[in-house]
Structure 1
Amino acid sequence: MSKLKYTDKFPKNFLWGGAIAANQAEGAWDVDGRGPSQADTMLLPDKYSRTVSLSTDMHKSDIEAALKDTKGNYPRRRGIDFYHTYPEDLELMHEMGFKCFRTSFSWSRIFPNGDEEKPNEKGMAFYDRLIDKMLELGMEPVMTISHYEMPVTLITKYGGWANPKLIDFFVRFSKVLIDRYSKKVKYWIIFNQINDVTEWGEYAGLGILKGEYPDQLTARYQGVHHQFVANAKVVKYAHEVNSDLQMGVMLGLTPVYPATSKPEDTMTAYNLWRREDLFFSDVLVEGEYPGYMIRYFHDHNIKVDVKSDDLKLIKENTVDYVSFSYYFSTIASADQPDKRQLNPNIEKSIWDWSIDPTGFRYGFDFLWDRYHLPLFVAENGLGALDKVEDGKVHDQYRIDYLRAHIEQMHEAIKDGVNIFGYASWGPIDIVSYSQAEMSKRYGYVYVDLDDKGNGSGKRIRKDSFYWYKKVIESNGEDL
């Protein structure tokens, strides 16, 4: 009898669920001692283009003006009021049969300025209630420590992650969480989409302002290095507290295909994908800086202060699993070596995000072949303009999108890839990150709020709600 085992089904205890972020859902931005975070400074103008992500480049004066502004539209300050509605919202997730629920901690809710010695207990009490509710409903909490939610003081006073002091502030924050929740939370993501500084810029992920550093590119990668060191310290501490804790890296994974079959396009695409996505997981999984990135630093005169003790720490404290978000793929060509382009062969959403289910499978297979670590889908979904008709939302387009992606995830499992969970993005409508729109909806549950916060806040089950419930009940067999 052959000892080779073929698998064609989702694992028995597969973690079906969904994911949100504190800064896009909680609201209550100035309640119970919470301080402002960089998410609270991002304005949604009256006129904007849906195909262009809002710039997150900020100067210090922009932050000061935003925090004084009481009339502008700052959707992340209100979210969907999940801070108060989480019990009812989680009950809806439970009704669908969720096995896991991913969300994040608001750093400024726990350390309002980021540099305090002691946490804000009212902030901690909220997460006590939230996590206990998840557990009560049979959901595995998947908790992200940092999801674009730095306290503003760490940006304006310390200069963001380019300053090595941020390492100690972040580790203190993480230790408080691990000490409190190590017996309740098994799966942790330390930094959300740690690579997205290459797409969103330095402000969202690193808290680095424009004009604060003479060499912005060096400041970016110095900040990234400090996050690598902090990541390793958090992994080390977590494993000392409880060796069963699973500490993960998360990528915003966007595969890059060559624009043509020309060899130079293939090399260009691979170099771009490595530099903007895979570099970050290479360091945190393999524990060392890859040669291609050292060359990039050399070629671009980027001088990152890397100490030998840093490298030893990173090498000895690698992550336990790889998680990633997947929404779309891109192409690249040698004539534009630093630019991702839209694939003309693929359908796209009204936000110019290509719809490429095959790229999902490609990402699974590539990451598994590269790292041989368990994989978790931290985000995947379709943003669309939903309409309420006779009290219902008929979102067959979302069902079609998710079905096609889950089918490709199934193909990856048949390929032998170890996938232990799938958390689709936005199981309930929340504020979009890239555009700050409420009208860019991802959820199985419609929330009656518009881009300016007008509406009843009522929750309405969409057609996709009942579809996803069947998917979970059948463990991925009834699509």
Structure 2
Amino acid sequence: MKKFPENFWWGAATSGPQSEGRFHKKHANVFDYHYEIDPSAFYDQVGPDTASNFYNDYKNDLQLMKEVGMNSLRTSIQWSRLIDDLEKNTVDQNAVDFYNHVIDAMLEIGLTPVMNLHHFDLPVELYQKYGGWESKKVVELYVGFAEKCFELFGDRVKYWTTHNEPMVVVEGQYLFQFHYPNLVDGKKAVQVAYNLNLASAKAIAKFKAMDLKDAQIGTVLNLTPTYAASESPEDQEAARIAELWNNKMFLEPAIFGHFPSELEELLTRDGVLWETSDEEKAIFKQNTIDFLGVNYYHPNRVKAPDVAPDSVGAWMPDRYYDAYDMPGRRVNLDRGWEIYPQALYDIAINIKENYGNIPWYVSENGMGVSNEERFMNADGMIEDDYRIEFVKEHLTWLHKGIEAGSNCFGYHMWTPIDCWSWLNAYKNRYGFISNNIHTQIKTIKKSGRWFKQVAEQNGWEA
């Protein structure tokens, strides 16, 4: 029997903008707005208006989650829903009531709520007025929103996270054009990365000042381990810089309270370093996380760049490394991502040996598959054996990391119920529970039945 630690979190993660729908929201976030102006950018032109209807169906949805054995759920509080006046940080009482009902319903059935405060869903007005995360004014407004969340819900929510995958905001909005506003501006990207880190530290400062009983705060990072294509010095250097930019940019300020000096030196040399101050440096130092959430889907394999990094042209971080596709790799062809479960062990050991063995959990892991109706049996259940195998392999390597002493306290799948997924909309499905987006009828998949057994036994027969 592969047993996991006592009180292990068995659960899943979703987000407000991907599950709730836009019902009764006063403000649009950047994705709501992007869909308004360009629905053709979204798969099958399906936008976030309905999503999985969690706003109206949360009681039934939570009950289904309990049926698949979950004891915890991470979702998010939408800034664009909760706050009525974005400048004054007054609240919409209907939104307060909704989130109170959701939290109470979770607690009533034994689901530990983990509440995230930012999941790519900046109110678009703050982008249009201030430039979004380019602006420290927006940092301050976010901190006010976070403080309001702590005040309203901190009596019951004991686990908070400041961001989900902040690097995706940097890359999607400012480098690689897969999130609105689709800019390509390396210097802005660097400042946005800094400001997102600053927003997290300042929100943590507010959280700690409130002295909420038995409550903890962390952040959720997509830690994609970097593997060099070879042992050559050139490939190893490419991997070192990729690791600095992709992982340590957010990991080290969160845990150690400062940025990696090597990263600061590189960005200074390239003339793109962020604007900072001694006061802000002190805020970082004094406000580190209590726990870490790690989203892991695939490894990041890199090689030395084909073009010299000092070539003439606009600055981009990937001038120092190129992506490398390892021959013979296993791939989820629907999503295009390599399947490499062993990386969870590598993450576990890295956190243990290099990051003070901080308490951490797998905050997302999963596999998106298209046209899952192909696997539906005569009883209407999707037999997703591929997902069971995927989760089992990843849990096996995670278990090895825990046995080696890594301080991991949970595993959350992405996602409990098939949810809306940004530009991909409903192209690929990730859930333990399927969702017919036309009828909003939700049905537990075979993987959900399997997960229930694992959660109840706190492990499985090897």
**Could you tell me the TM-score, scaled by structure 1's length?**
0.86
Q: How does 1:317-396 map to 2 (within 5 A)?
A: 317-336=287-306, 337-350=320-333, 351-371=335-355, 372-385=357-370, 386-387=372-373, 388-390=376-378, 391-396=380-385
Question: Which residue of the partner structure matches residue 114 of structure 1?
Answer: 86
Verify: 1:446 aligned to 2:434, yes or no. yes
Change (3 A) 1:236 1:206: farther
Deviations 1:238-259 (A, max 9, x none): 1222263211122111112111
Change (3 A) 1:149 1:198: closer
Verify: 1:436 aligned to 2:424, yes or no. yes
Q: CA deviation at 1:208?
A: 8.0
Question: Which residue of the partner structure matches residue 129 of structure 1?
Answer: 101
Q: CA deviation at 1:330?
A: 2.4
Q: 2:27 aligns with which of 13, 26, 35?
A: 35
Deviations 1:458-479 (A, max 9, x none): 1111111110001101101346
Q: How does 1:94-113 map to 2 (within 5 A)?
A: 94-112=66-84
Q: CA deviation at 1:288?
A: 1.0
* One-letter amino acid of the counterpart of residue 19, structure 2: A
Verify: 1:217 aligned to 2:186, yes or no. yes
- For 1:140 and 1:354, the matched residues in 2 are separated by 32
Q: 2:253 aligns with which of 283, 293, 296?
A: 283
Q: CA deviation at 1:42?
A: 3.9
- For 1:158 and 1:204, the matched residues in 2 are separated by 21
Q: CA deviation at 1:107?
A: 0.9
- For 2:348 and 2:76, the matched residues in 1 are separated by 24
Q: CA deviation at 1:415?
A: 0.8
Change (3 A) 1:244 1:236: farther
Question: Which residue of the partner structure matches residue 423 of structure 1?
Answer: 412
Question: Which residue of the partner structure matches residue 146 of structure 1?
Answer: 118
Q: CA deviation at 1:292?
A: 1.3
Q: Runs of 5+ in structure 1 lacking a partner?
A: 1-7, 44-62, 450-454
Q: 2:208 aligns with which of 211, 227, 239?
A: 239
Q: CA deviation at 1:41?
A: 3.1
Verify: 1:316 aligned to 2:286, yes or no. yes
Verify: 1:299 aligned to 2:269, yes or no. yes
- For 1:91 and 1:74, the matched residues in 2 are separated by 26
CA contact (8 A) 2:304 2:322 kept: no
Q: CA deviation at 1:207?
A: 8.9
Change (3 A) 1:343 1:112: farther
CA contact (8 A) 2:30 2:121 kept: yes
Deviations 1:225-277 (A, max 9, x none): 22222212211221222263211122111112111221321221122022111
CA contact (8 A) 1:105 1:144 kept: yes
Verify: 1:193 aligned to 2:138, yes or no. no
Change (3 A) 1:117 1:396: closer
Bigger Cα displacement from structure 2, 365-374 vs 329-338: 329-338
- For 1:206 and 1:475, the matched residues in 2 are separated by 38
CA contact (8 A) 1:249 1:322 kept: yes
Q: CA deviation at 1:118?
A: 0.7
Q: Runs of 5+ in structure 2 lacking a partner?
A: 307-319
Q: CA deviation at 1:97?
A: 2.2
**Could you tell me the TM-score, scaled by structure 2's length?**
0.90
Q: How does 1:15-30 map to 2 (within 5 A)?
A: 15-27=9-21, 29=22
CA contact (8 A) 1:256 1:269 kept: yes
Deviations 1:330-357 (A, max 9, x none): 2111134333333323210122100000
* One-letter amino acid of the counterpart of residue 196, structure 1: V
Question: Which residue of the partner structure matches residue 6 of structure 2?
Answer: 12
- For 2:213 and 2:150, the matched residues in 1 are separated by 12
* One-letter amino acid of the counterpart of residue 97, structure 1: G
- For 2:84 and 2:337, the matched residues in 1 are separated by 35
Q: 1:249 aligns with which of 219, 233, 239?
A: 219
Verify: 1:469 aligned to 2:452, yes or no. yes
- For 1:464 and 1:416, the matched residues in 2 are separated by 28
Q: 1:272 aligns with which of 242, 246, 251?
A: 242
CA contact (8 A) 2:170 2:193 kept: no
CA contact (8 A) 2:351 2:406 kept: no
Question: Which residue of the partner structure matches residue 414 of structure 1?
Answer: 403
| Percent identity of equivalent pairs | 28
Question: Which residue of the partner structure matches residue 312 of structure 2?
Answer: none
Secondary structure of the 1:343 match is: coil
**Aligned-residue CA RMSD in angstroms?**
2.4
Change (3 A) 1:259 1:461: same
Bigger Cα displacement from structure 2, 399-408 vs 260-269: 260-269
Deviations 1:297-348 (A, max 9, x none): 1232114210100001110111111111000012111134333333323210
CA contact (8 A) 1:21 1:104 kept: yes
Question: Which residue of the partner structure matches residue 85 of structure 1?
Answer: 57
CA contact (8 A) 2:120 2:166 kept: no
Deviations 1:365-419 (A, max 9, x none): 1122221210111100011121233212110000000000011110110110011
Change (3 A) 1:470 1:104: same
CA contact (8 A) 1:206 1:224 kept: no
Question: Which residue of the partner structure matches residue 130 of structure 2?
Answer: 158
* Pairs aligned (count): 439
- For 1:364 and 1:198, the matched residues in 2 are separated by 25
- For 2:427 and 2:181, the matched residues in 1 are separated by 29
Q: CA deviation at 1:105?
A: 0.9
Q: CA deviation at 1:33?
A: 4.1
Secondary structure of the 1:257 match is: strand
Q: CA deviation at 1:112?
A: 4.9
CA contact (8 A) 2:361 2:411 kept: yes
- For 2:97 and 2:244, the matched residues in 1 are separated by 41
- For 2:58 and 2:177, the matched residues in 1 are separated by 26
Change (3 A) 1:240 1:207: farther
Change (3 A) 1:149 1:197: closer
* One-letter amino acid of the counterpart of residue 405, structure 1: H
